[in-house]
Amino acid sequence: MRGNSFGKAFNITTFGESHGPALGVIIDGCPPGIDIDENFIQSEMDRRKPGQSAIVTQRKEGDVVEILSGVFEGKTTGTPLSMLIRNTNQKSKDYSHIADKFRPSHADFTYQKKYGLRDYRGGGRSSARETAARVAAAAIAKLILAKEGIQINGYVSRVGNISFSGALDDSNIPNIEKTPVRCPDLEVAQQMEDLIREVRKEGNTIGGIVSCNINGVPPGLGEPVFDKLHADLGKAMLSINAAKGFEYGSGFEGTFMKGSEHNDAFVIEDGKAKTATNYSGGIQGGISNGMPIYFNVAFKPVATIMQDQQSIDQNMEEQTIKGKGRHDPCVLPRAVPIVEAMAALVLVDHWLRQKTI
C-alpha cells in the first residue's frame, strides 16, 4: 500500500532516509545457487555514488554494502537477501534552514500534506539517496541476467540541447564509462561536460535524456494486459527521482508515422525470426520478441539550485529560500546506473515470472 516494494517474483523492498542511520533493501525471491560477486556489487554502487567526478556533487558517501542474510558460502540460498548501507556523511545541520520551508519543486510540501509531518533532513525518504538500495539489489539481478546472456547498457543521450543520436554498438559501448558524463561519443561527452560546468557556475541545473539498450532478451517475457513489459519498464523508470517521461521503440516520434512505415516486417535470418526494422523496440503486445529493447527516460533539471527562490513556509507565509549544500548540477550521469538498475529489476522479475508458464 505504501509502495516501497517492487517486483512480483523478484520482489525488493527498500528502506532508509538520506540522513537516517542507514539505507537498505531486502530481496525476496532471489533464486538459490547464484554466485555472489561482492566486488561487482560494490562497483555498481561506485558508479552511482556521489563525488565520482568534478561534475557531480562533491558529497562523499562510502556506500559500502554489507550483506546481512541470504548468502551462504558465497552462494544465494533462496532466502531473503538483505543488504545494508550505512549513511556515514550526513550533515543534518545543513538542512535546519528548510525545516519549516518548502523548497520549490521538491517533495517537502507534498510529504507534509501526505503525512502531517516529515523528516526534512536532505529530503528524507524523497532523496535520490534511496536509489542506492535499488542499485545494490539490481547488482544481484544483473548477476542473474548475465548468466542468461541479457546485457543492459544505459547512457546519456542528451544534456540540455547537446545530444548524441547515434546508435549504441560494440564500438562505442566501452566509451560510456570513460567520461564522467557517460555519453558513448567522446566528443559529444566533452560538450556535455562543458555545458554542465557552465550551468554549475551559474548555480543552476540542467535536464536531459538517459537512453538504454537491452540485448539478449529471449522472446516471451512480459505479461499481456496490465503488466506489459514496457509498462513495467515505464513505471520503473518514472519511479526514479526527477524522471518526467518514458518512451520505448519509436516512442513519441513514431506517432507521426503511418502504419505501413511503422510496422516491423518479420523476416527469416539465419533460420531465426527477426524483424526488418525495430520500431517496436523489441516488445509487441507487451511481450518481448527477441529483438533489442530500447527506451528513453526524460530527467528534469534538478530542483536544488544555488540561487534564491520564492517559496512559502508551514505557516503559509511567503519566504525566500537560499541555495546551500552540495548538489548535482545535472543528474544525468549518475542516473545511468539507476536506469540500468531499474531495467535489471524489471527483466529479472519477468524472467522469473515466465517460469510459471
Q: Which of positions 85-124 make contact with a second copy (CB under 8 A)? A: 102, 104-107, 109-111, 113-119, 123-124
| Binding of a second copy by 311 (CB under 8 A) | yes
User: Contact letters (x/-) for a second copy, 234-273, by CB under 8 A?
Assistant: xxxxxx-x--xxxxxxxxx-xxxxxxxxxxxxxxx--x-x
Distance of CA 278 to the CA centre of its chain: 24
Local structure of 18: helix, strand or coil:
coil
- For the chain, how many residues are written? 357
* Three-class secondary structure of residue 75 per DSSP: strand
Asked whether position 300 contacts a second copy by CB under 8 A, the answer is: yes
Which residue number, 173 or 278, has a Cβ lying nearer to a second copy?
Answer: 278
Q: Tell me, what DSSP letter sits at residue 234?
A: H
DSSP string, 292-347: PEEEEEEEPPPS--SS-EEEEETTS-EEEE---S---S-SHHHHHHHHHHHHHHHH
Q: Minimal distance in Å, beta carbon 70 to a second copy?
A: 7
CB of 325 to a second copy, least distance (A): 14
Stretch binding a second copy (CB under 8 A), from 40-48, 49-57, 139-147, 154-162:
154-162
**What is the DSSP code (8-state) at residue 179?**
S
Question: Which of residues 11, 57, 172, 179 is near a second copy by CB under 8 A?
Answer: 11
Return the residues of window 318-347 that contact a second copy according to CB under 8 A. 318
Least separation, in Å, of the C-beta of 23 and a second copy? Answer: 7
Q: Which of 26, 98, 144, 188 binds a second copy (CB under 8 A)?
A: 26
Q: Which stretch binds a second copy (CB under 8 A): 49-57, 74-82, 144-152, 177-185?
A: 74-82
| Least distance from a second copy to the Cβ atom of residue 52, Å | 21
Query: Which of these ranges, 44-52, 60-68, 147-155, 333-341, lies near a second copy under the rule CB under 8 A?
Result: 60-68
Nearer to a second copy by Cβ, of 148 and 202: the residue is 202
Does 187 engage in binding with a second copy (CB under 8 A)? Answer: no
Q: What are phi and psi of 30, to 5 degrees?
A: -70, 125
Residue 310 forms beta bridges with which residues?
320
C-alpha 273, offset from chain centre: 32
Phi, psi of 82 (to 5 degrees): -115, 145
C-alpha pair distances (Å), 152 with each of 5, 134, 295, 339: 22, 16, 11, 10
Distance of closest approach, residue 170 Cβ to a second copy, in angstroms: 26
Q: Residue 179 or 289: which CB sits closer to a second copy?
A: 289
Which of 279, 292, 325, 326 is in the footprint of a second copy by CB under 8 A?
279
DSSP three-state, residue 61: coil
118: number of CA atoms within 13 Å, CB side? 27
